[in-house]
A and B are shown apart, each in its own frame.
Chain A
Amino acid sequence: MPGAKDIAETRSEEGSTGFPDFGDSIDPPTFEQILEMDDDEDEREFSKSIVYGFFEQAEGTFTKMETSLANGDLAQLSSLGHFLKGSSATLGLTKVKDSCEKIQHFGAKKDETGTVDEADDQVCLQRIKDTLVDVKAEYSEAEKLLKKFYHDPS
């Protein structure tokens, strides 16, 4: 029960918020400031709506990315990457955010840091394809943690 222990400890140190240990998937301060917006720390209505909104958004975006990938639409991919980057950054999902940023750069025909141009579309597409796999894994990890946090059995 290391997980339960972590939660308990965090709670006691924290005092009231009960912020769990999400490891490096989620940036605590960023996520916590969303939790701070909750009126009720038991219901967590607001943050939950944000988080679940993000789930929908992310899954929708992944689908779109797949489509764009099939179409070879780099610009769209870059835009989608940017879009999801904003959301994940807001929630503090740092890993997802970083991967989305890469996709954004790849879609803009750059390398993953966004500084070097990459002329070959196919290379970019392939990179996006790889990154997409990563980001999905990172996303599902974060999703699992978050759903656990919100006591969502699913």
Chain B
Amino acid sequence: MPSAWDCGMGDLKSRLFARAKFIRWPSSLSAASSASSNTENERRAADVSNKSTAFPSVEDDLPRAREHHATPVIVDGEPTRAASIGGAERLNRPPRQPQPSPPPAEPAAVRTQIPQLTVEEATPDTRDHQENGSGLPSAVDTGLQPNHESSRQEGAPSASIDTAAILLNPDPTTITIQRSTQPQRPTEQTVRKQSLVPRTQTKLIRTLLDAEQPPSSATTPLDYFSERPPTINPDMISRKIWVRRPQASATMVTINEDDLVDDVRDTILRKYGNSLGRTYDAPDVTLRITAREQTQQLQRSLERVLGPEEPMAQTLDLYYPGGQTIDEALIIDVPQRRTPRPSPRPCNGSYYGEDIRPNEAATDYFPPMPRVPSPHLPTTVSNVSGQSGSHHAPVHSISILNTGQVPTLPSPGSARRHHGRPKMPRQATTSPTILTTASANLNNGTAPHPRQHRPRVNSNASETKQGPPAPPPLPTPPKADPPHAATPPIPRVASPRPQKLPRRTNRKSSEQPQLPTGILDITVPPINVLIVEDNMLNLKLLEAFMKRLRVRWQTAMNGRDAVTKWQTGGFHLVLMDIQLPIMSGLEATKEIRRLERVNGVGVFSSSVTSSTTPQTSPKQEPEDKDKLPNTDLFKSPVIIVALTASSLQSDRRAALAAGCNDFLTKPVNFVWLERKVMEWGCMQALIDFDGWRKWKDFAPSAAAEKPKASRKEKTRSSSTSVTTSRDEPQTDGASS
């Protein structure tokens, strides 16, 4: 018996802190039976069960429980004793005393302590008093308690000895010493224990008590003293813990004793069903625990995040011996919502244009056209990405085409910071491909060494970057007929999803700008844009935007200026403010259209299928003053996108009637602007494709030069040939 008790004490000691709160009242009750040895337990089982059956009532019958506590106080006259844990245990033990077979000396000692408690519990108070009075002086009694407690902490054997010593020879000093080791805190703790016992634990307690093996059930509480009996399901033991969100009030969640932090997160999400549960999954949630001042030594930092694998209850007990107060509620952290930022306006969730500005999709005015077949698709994708690899190349080619000379690099912008944000996956659209191809073609047509400026088509880098794998090359259809048939319909190119605007790297553009893959997600066609805007502020902004899109641009401050600039040729896109001084945007637009007409520019006046290259389909000779200086620079009618400050439909109609192709509402939304540039730019390139075809027929000699020109970059030359072969299907598709 003594050994058993000793073991129990030793066990208790080792587990005291870890398990401290494990079981509240009920546990302490059964703690009485805690005696680890089965034999003893069995013997007492009946007795214990009798007593402990009452225990569930502790919760149900609070007053009574208080009474228990109160009793010792009265008896001892010692305030400290009143609520101590020891008190609770003593309460539990009493049951043993009545037992018929008194244990040997040491146990007896223990029991002797217990009797005081016992009285409180099962036996009438009077009896208790009597026993106390007869057995031990109140002082001893008080001392015993602490002693008991301290013995647990210090070691089982000593504990029993001490107790015995006290019993036999109540020495105040001893008591005092022991008491000093005993912290005061248990006092409050005990009280809390009572209130915290959830009603649901009644079941547990009953289970324990009614279990087939009463002894083991008796042990239960005793997690303090012994291993947990197998019959007890940990799930049955629940407790409540405080949690709160930052800056919010705390709330309690019920957890099972052996729950891991991971389980607790689940529970919390259920508790916060609305604010968190709908948005977050359990793994998103982190719990922070803040150590008490005193216990800080346990943890290096005052605050730390709980790992999902930590046992919740034990951790809490470790941090908050004596119980977690509301102020010590665990803090629930959820990750900041960091969604990928597909557009420059991340904070506006509803930003995606279709809902907001449906009109600007302009589908009303440009009814859906059959999609251009995309035999190029494979090349396209790689072209696009290839272009992104060396973005200046296309610009060169187009500018050479239009101006006959190599222009300076397009408006080098200041260094841009690269945002490492998630990008939208690249989408394979037909337009960019065609675009690149076309511009390359154009380039071939006019430039002596076009190959130098070819984008790095099909480069490896592009392969790594592009999202969808390139489909296998389509079989090349038979060569198309004359270029005449080639003019494609004006398609509404599928809008690319809004994407992160390309950012410039800090690197200054060297001969071959090396962009890290992924930096340039958008390849805007290498077009030349004329910005017509009288407000310096807006102009500056638009210029900055064009810089970022890496397209060339020029500016005009009024309508007259715009027409003059346009007449120099080479523009693909005009962003036309409508309200302009001197000549309004509408007037300027009309003038441009008129000049295009009289000069027979492009496909505007001819049907889609019969359209020819501008050079081959001159209308009547325009008057001198209207004659464009270099018709080669006007491959097609320029696209005019009106910028209107008003959202009135009438204004839009007026703009379209004047010859604008599209419009944007001010303040210009950059995502939309980018789309327009992309779409119209791609379309322009499609149209210009004609010119390239023409050149191709004419200039086999130029083709012979290709290898030379492309000497520097083999990939380019090879890609060129690929592109060339692919162009034919494209033509067919467009003409069919």
Contact = CB atoms under 8 A, between A and B. Distances in A.
B543 to A, nearest CB: 10
Chain A interface SS verdict (over half): helix
Contacts of B534: 83
Contacts, number: 92
A36 interface: yes
B545 A90 contact: no
A4 to B, nearest CB: 14
Q: Which of A13, A37, A83, A85 neighbours the largest number of chain B CB atoms within 10 Å of its CB?
A: A37
Size range of the chain A interface in the assembly: 35 or more
Nearest to B345: A29
Contacts of B577: 86
Given A12-B336, A15-B336, A83-B535, A41 B417 contact: yes
B74 to A, nearest CB: 54
Given A37-B541, A50-B540, A54-B537, A86 B347 contact: no
Given A28-B348, A33-B344, A89 B666 contact: yes
A101 to B, nearest CB: 8
Nearest to B673: A33
A53 B537 contact: yes
Given A17-B346, A19-B347, A39-B414, A89 B541 contact: no
Given A33-B344, A39-B415, A90 B579 contact: no
B677 interface: no
B666 A13 contact: no
Given A13-B337, A50-B541, A57-B537, A92 B667 contact: yes
A62 B535 CA distance: 16
B625 interface: no
A82 B579 contact: yes
Contacts of A86: 535, 537-538, 577, 645, 666
A122 interface: no
A82 B414 CA distance: 31
A30 interface: yes
Contact of A90 (B416, B668, B671): B668
B540 A13 contact: no
A87 interface: yes
A136 B666 CA distance: 22
B536 interface: yes
A90 B537 contact: yes
B667 A90 contact: yes
A32 interface: yes
Contacts of A30: 667, 669
A34 interface: yes
Interface string A31-58: 0111011011100011001100110010
Q: Which of A49, A57, A90 neighbours the largest number of chain B CB atoms within 10 Å of its CB?
A: A90
Nearest to B247: A5
A14 interface: yes
B501 interface: yes
A16 B420 CA distance: 11
A37 B544 contact: yes
B536 A33 contact: no
Contact of A36 (B501, B535, B540): B501
Contact of B536 (A13, A37, A57): A57
A28 B351 CA distance: 11
B548 interface: yes
A45 to B, nearest CB: 8
A39 B541 CA distance: 14
B670 interface: yes
Contact of B345 (A10, A33, A57): A33
B338 interface: yes
Nearest to B669: A33
B645 A82 contact: yes
A14 B346 contact: yes
Given A29-B348, A30-B669, A33-B671, 19 more contacts: A13-B336, A15-B341, A15-B346, A17-B346, A17-B347, A29-B669, A37-B541, A37-B545, A39-B417, A40-B417, A45-B414, A46-B414, A50-B540, A54-B537, A57-B536, A83-B535, A86-B535, A86-B538, A89-B666
12 contacts: A15-B341, A32-B344, A36-B345, A39-B415, A45-B414, A83-B534, A83-B535, A86-B535, A86-B537, A87-B537, A90-B538, A90-B668
Q: Which 6 A-B pairs have the closest CB atoms?
A: A29-B345, A36-B344, A29-B348, A89-B667, A87-B537, A86-B535
